[in-house]
Amino acid sequence: MLLTLSPKTLSSSFTVHKSQNPRCKSPNSCRSQSSKSRFNHIFVKSEVQIERNLEFETGETFFRHESARGRDLGVLSATLYKRFNGSLRVLDAMCGCGIRSLRYLVEAEADFVMANDANDANRRVITDNLSKVERGTGDERRWVVTHMLANKAMIERYMVADFFDMIDIDSFGSDSSFLRDAFNALRLGGLLYLTSTDGYSSGGHRPYNSLAAYGAFIRPMPFGNEIGLRMLIGGAVREAALLGYHVTPLFSYYSYHGPVFRVMLRVHRGKLHEDRNYGFVTHCNLCGHSQTLRWDELGLMGCPCSDTKASSSLVVSGPMWLGPLHDASYVTEMLELAKEWGWVSEGTGMDLEKLLSIMIEESDPRLPPGYTKMDEMASRAKMNSPPLKKMMSALVKEGYAASRSHIIPNALKTDCPMSHFVRIAKDNLHN
């Protein structure tokens, strides 16, 4: 079969210089996405919005207040990068109304932000929102607004060796076509903030779609929302390896609205020489036991509840990321910064302090992929669902690792097999 590829013409429409401009300060957040072929979602009527004390308008762009937490996490990460490295250049590849770009400029004190959105009809609202920060000129230019497909925006910057310290891609669905271009346009050691909103694929209902997008064949499992995060990281791991890089997840965040899966990755030079964190997850629908498998163990898969190696109740998904979803020390720094800024104890939704604290718990390298819902365990144990904290204490007393899950309130992550889990619950908590 003969394929003919016609590359798009590349052009550089502007020159970006490293900024030396002084900074301004304030807190905020916003989600928005847009492209000329945008999806049929709710569009917010254009009116003044306020997020983290920043005023902005949404115009006709797609915007969700519920995504503010993901924007908070992005700003905290960007700020830590700026404090450690001394400078910060950001590409907001799908900026929508521009609130994320505004937050990076104001809160993270970014030296330069390229706010790109494929839909040029959004130019006025983006420019008006960013105009709260002086644009600057020449070497002191703070921001610029462009209207290109995200891939083209990244390719053009890569072609002129104009690299970014952080690239935020707030995409829709399971579009992963931009991954390679993002790696190329990112400075080594930089941050890549990825998004997926494809709950059908993470839930195992579109396995061939997840295979095409992330190289992972995903089947239904009771912890599908965590699988969505691991699937997204795994796709980035695979693409990075092709280019001679490897990535480290700094944090992973799931939000039920959408749903939205967001992961912050740090990109390093050099491939990893082992694949212990990239493999497969199995789950037995009969006994509830889950485990991980490496590539060389695929022919040995089975479940302790079955006498045969091949069991019809065994479900396998992957390959995907198997390691910790977060870096504990990094998330601890995020939490300290949130406290410094007064972003904790806000009383709206899941408090940011609680979210980051649970992420630190989830970072325990002993914890395997997945979580167990207390109702499921109680059903298997034929008992009432036990209190989460008491169950955690009982597991730790038995020598197992245990943590809450930021994904679902009434669930635990643990390295305890389901059969032992049920026994411990009966022995310690049966009422």
Structure tokens at 185: 């346009």
The CA angle 46-55-45, to the nearest 5 degrees, is: 10
Measured CA to CA, the distance from residue 61 to residue 42 in angstroms comes to 9
Could you tell me the CA-to-CA distances from 120 to 16, 35, 49, 135, 396 in Å, in that order? 20, 9, 21, 19, 55
Could you tell me the CA-to-CA distances from 112 to 78, 98, 115 in Å, in that order? 12, 14, 10
Q: What is the pLDDT of residue 9?
A: 35
Distance between the two ends of the chain, CA-based, in angstroms? Answer: 67
Peptide bond just before 259 cis, omega within 30 deg = yes
String of DSSP letters for 279-316:
EEEEEETTT--EEEE-GGGGGG---TT-SSSS-TTEEE
Looking at residue 341, its amino acid is W
Could you tell me the CA-to-CA distances from 1 to 4, 7, 242, 348 in Å, in that order? 10, 19, 24, 57
Measured CA to CA, the distance from residue 416 to residue 405 in angstroms comes to 15
Question: Can you say how many angstroms the Cα of residue 165 is from the centroid of all Cα atoms in its chain?
Answer: 17
Residues making up the chain, counted from first to last? 431
pTM comes to 0.87
Mutual angle of helices 328-341 and 68-85, in 10-degree steps: 100
Task: Answer for the pair 219, 315: CB distance below 8 angstroms, yes or no.
Answer: yes
Q: What is the pLDDT of residue 310?
A: 55
Average confidence (pLDDT) per 10 residues, the chain, 431 residues: 42 38 38 38 63 91 88 98 98 96 98 97 96 92 97 97 97 90 97 96 95 96 97 96 95 94 96 82 92 89 73 90 98 97 74 96 97 91 88 95 96 94 83 52
Structure tokens at 13: 């429409």
Looking at residue 60, its amino acid is E
Could you tell me the CA-to-CA distances from 109 to 10, 94, 143, 285 in Å, in that order? 31, 20, 12, 49
Closest C-alpha to 52, from 338, 327, 386? 338
Q: What is the pLDDT of residue 300?
A: 83
Task: Answer for the pair 229, 254: CB distance below 8 angstroms, yes or no.
Answer: yes
Q: Render pLDDT for 13-48 as a digit per residue (tens, 0 to 9).
A: 344 433 333 334 443 333 333 333 333 344 445 578
Q: What is the pLDDT of residue 307?
A: 63
Q: Please give the helix or strand (H or E) that residue 195 lies within, else none.
A: strand 186-196
Closest C-alpha to 361, from 412, 424, 422? 412
Measured CA to CA, the distance from residue 214 to residue 227 in angstroms comes to 12
Measured CA to CA, the distance from residue 251 to residue 193 in angstroms comes to 10
Peptide bond just before 319 cis, omega within 30 deg = yes
Closest C-alpha to 377, from 354, 395, 355, 360? 395
Could you tell me the CA-to-CA distances from 133 to 91, 144, 171, 329, 420 in Å, in that order? 16, 11, 25, 32, 58
Bridge-based pairing state of the strands 278-284 and 314-321: antiparallel
Q: What is the pLDDT of residue 139?
A: 84
